[in-house]
Amino acid sequence: MPASYRAKLLRLHCSESDRYQGKPLYVAIVERSKTLGIAGATVLRGLEGFGETGEMHRGRLVGHDLPIVITIADVPDKIERLLVDIEPMMNTGMIAVSDADVIRVQKGASSDHV
């Protein structure tokens, strides 16, 4: 069985239109995560959603403001350090932090992908 370790799972919910220093917020957060040596980050674009204000976020024919979820998992110390940096970057949104058991799967460097 692969080795596992205790970690924190971070989920950041924002909108595609959110910006930080002129760039999309999700890009800025992923860049900051990489700078801090975070194990990895994934950005997911939602089809539709709403938040605290009740405003619907969905794709439209003209313009769009889709919901974005950024998922990051790493050891607690790194997640805490990242939170200190990214919380001030967000004007609106939600940050969810939960405990996680991470199982890292890493098979040989084979180029055979099925």
Number of neighbours of residue 15 by Cβ within 10 angstroms: 22
Tell me the domains of the chain and their CATH numbers: 4-103 (3.30.70.120)
pLDDT of residue 107: 81
Contact by Cβ (8 Å): 38, 83: no
Say if residues 73 and 12 touch (Cβ distance below 8 Å). no
Give pTM, 2 decimals: 0.81
- Per-residue pLDDT tens over the stretch 52-109: 666 666 655 445 678 999 999 999 999 999 999 999 999 989 999 999 998 888 887 5
